[in-house]
């Protein structure tokens, strides 16, 4: 007779095996249910977050639209330059477009001139019209403004002393054109926001429509008066003796007009001008403010050889999402010889495009005011963009050495990211100037800064 123990043990083993097999499906079901539950919870959380973000964005957009109401219009860029440097451009590249149809949201990270119309106006700059005597003689005009010399009467609040000073007054070229009047107001607000720098043209005050005057229905911006005029005209046309310190030779400057701005200039003075332009542009880039039309025609010089950068090109402002391309108009001269290729191809205007223009300014300086790409001026069908893309560049000007020309080529790199910033441009020019001369320049800049602070109303 066989003992019962083995049979009982066998039944027990079969029972356990059957129990394990029955438990396996139950564990799988539990696992799947847990996974579905977790997935469902995560889905609900995700949908809730998306819904809340949508509500937040909708609210922000409404608030932004109420604060920054912008009309969707085509932007016509009419850029100011001399007629001799104009060149019709390919219509396929230069055309007026408006890519973004949405109202742009303006942020503090955008350059000042891209949000000039939204900047506040400081009423402390307001001038009473009876304190401003505008002369009839006009000494400058752009596409949206004309400039007259004027005499401003200021009263010292502490001493009561009356001071009269020469100033420049800019007003709309066409007093009936509301768009020009708006650009003048934008320029007023932009100059208020930029503040003071000894190498940047400073605002003295303004007369806005807040002060109602019979017979005057437009805005006026009042700036410091720079007696020498634009630097290109001074270099090219006024009589002076130029001392070429690179070759130890002298030559006589232009003799086309009578002027007593300078008796003489030297290579060291050209270094100083280059340094001061980079100094002013470094300040603007830090604000940030993109100039868009940097050229010697927009750099003004005093008799003490201190310069001011002016004309910040508000007519060419664009927003980050609503780019413009310049309208092709045979009757409108464009400063295409100062513009970087990406200004045409991508409608981009940045510090790096200003650096390209700075390189052209160096060409103007060291050629004593010659026009860039002079051989192309009589080629109406020539596309300067294609010319630059092929790798062609301006040749070395007469009064610069190899080191300076190499730096010009550095500024004209087709890859914008490989160009120097204005801090590097400033440091390069600083390295060209002797320690004694640099100390003199810095001392004069401090004096200019003090003068700007004294003439300001605000």
- d(CA 341, CA 304) in angstroms, rounded, equals 36
SS3 label, residue 220: strand
- d(CA 65, CA 141) in angstroms, rounded, equals 35
Backbone angles phi, psi at 94, to 5 degrees: -105, 100
Q: What is the pLDDT along the chain (458 residues), one digit of tens a residue?
A: 555 545 554 554 455 455 555 555 677 887 788 888 888 888 888 888 888 877 766 554 444 443 333 333 222 333 333 333 333 344 433 333 333 434 455 555 577 766 767 787 888 888 888 888 888 788 777 667 889 999 998 876 677 788 888 999 998 888 778 888 888 888 888 888 899 999 999 999 999 865 555 555 678 899 999 999 999 999 998 888 899 998 877 776 654 444 567 889 999 999 999 999 999 999 999 998 899 899 999 999 999 999 999 987 554 543 333 333 344 433 333 578 899 999 887 888 899 999 999 999 999 999 999 999 887 766 543 577 888 888 999 999 999 999 999 999 999 999 999 999 999 999 999 999 999 999 999 999 999 999 988 876 66
Backbone angles phi, psi at 88, to 5 degrees: -60, 145
- d(CA 349, CA 352) in angstroms, rounded, equals 8
Map out the domains of the chain with their CATH numbers.
77-99+226-441 (1.10.510.10), 110-225 (3.30.200.20)
Which residues, in sequence order, are CB contacts of 442 under 8 Å at separation 6+? none
| Integer-rounded Cα radius of gyration of the chain | 33
- d(CA 297, CA 364) in angstroms, rounded, equals 10
User: In this structure, are residues 290 and 351 in contact, taking their beta carbons and an 8 Å threshold?
Assistant: yes
CB atoms within 10 A of CB 383: 19
- d(CA 164, CA 152) in angstroms, rounded, equals 5
Chain center to CA of 183: 16
Q: What is the largest CA-CA distance in the chain?
A: 142
- d(CA 304, CA 301) in angstroms, rounded, equals 8
- Catalytic-residue membership of 166: no
Catalytic residue among 80, 230, 269, 293: 293
């Amino acid at each position: 007779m066989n003992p019962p123990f083995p049979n009982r043990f066998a039944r027990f083993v079969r029972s356990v095996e059957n129990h394990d097999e029955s438990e396996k499906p139950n564990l799988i079901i539990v696992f799947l249910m847990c996974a579905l539950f977790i997935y469902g919870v995560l889905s609900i959380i995700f949908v809730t977050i998306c819904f809340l973000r949508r509500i937040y964005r909708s609210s922000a957009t409404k608030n932004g639209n109420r604060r920054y109401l912008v009309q969707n219009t085509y932007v016509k860029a009419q850029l100011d330059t001399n007629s001799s440097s104009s060149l019709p451009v390919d219509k396929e590249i230069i055309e007026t477009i408006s890519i973004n149809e949405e109202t742009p949201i303006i942020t503090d990270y955008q350059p000042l001139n891209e949000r000039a119309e939204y900047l506040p106006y400081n009423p402390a700059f307001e001038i009473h019209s009876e304190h401003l005597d505008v002369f009839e003689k006009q000494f400058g005009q752009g596409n949206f403004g004309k400039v007259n010399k004027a005499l401003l009467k200021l009263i010292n609040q502490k001493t009561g002393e009356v001071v009269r000073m020469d100033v420049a007054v800019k007003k709309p070229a066409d007093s009936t054109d509301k768009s020009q009047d708006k650009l003048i107001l934008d320029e007023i607000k932009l100059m208020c926001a930029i503040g003071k720098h000894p190498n940047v043209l400073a605002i003295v005050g303004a007369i806005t429509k807040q002060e109602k005057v019979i017979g005057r229905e437009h805005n006026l911006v009042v700036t410091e008066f720079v007696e020498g005029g634009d630097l290109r005209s001074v270099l090219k046309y006024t009589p002076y003796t130029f001392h070429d310190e690179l070759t130890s030779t002298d030559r006589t400057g232009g003799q086309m007009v009578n002027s007593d701005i300078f008796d003489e200039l030297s290579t060291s003075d050209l270094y100083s001008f280059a340094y001061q332009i980079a100094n002013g542009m470094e300040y603007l880039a830090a604000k940030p403010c993109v100039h868009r039309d940097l050229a010697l025609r927009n750099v003004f010089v005093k008799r003490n050889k201190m310069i001011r950068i002016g004309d910040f090109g508000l007519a060419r402002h664009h927003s980050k999402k609503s780019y413009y391309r310049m309208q092709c108009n045979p009757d409108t001269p464009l400063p295409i010889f100062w513009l970087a290729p990406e200004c045409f191809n991508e409608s981009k205007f940045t510090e790096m495009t200003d650096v390209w223009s700075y390189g052209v300014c160096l060409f103007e300086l060291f050629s004593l005011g010659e026009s860039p790409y002079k051989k192309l001026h009589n080629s109406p069908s020539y596309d300067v963009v294609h010319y630059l893309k092929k790798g062609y560049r301006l040749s070395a000007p007469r009064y610069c050495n190899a080191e300076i020309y190499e730096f010009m080529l550095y500024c004209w790199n087709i890859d914008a990211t490989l160009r120097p910033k204005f801090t590097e441009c400033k440091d390069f020019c600083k390295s060209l100037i002797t320690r004694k001369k640099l100390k003199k320049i810095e001392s004069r800049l401090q004096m200019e800064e003090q003068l700007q602070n004294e003439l300001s109303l605000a």
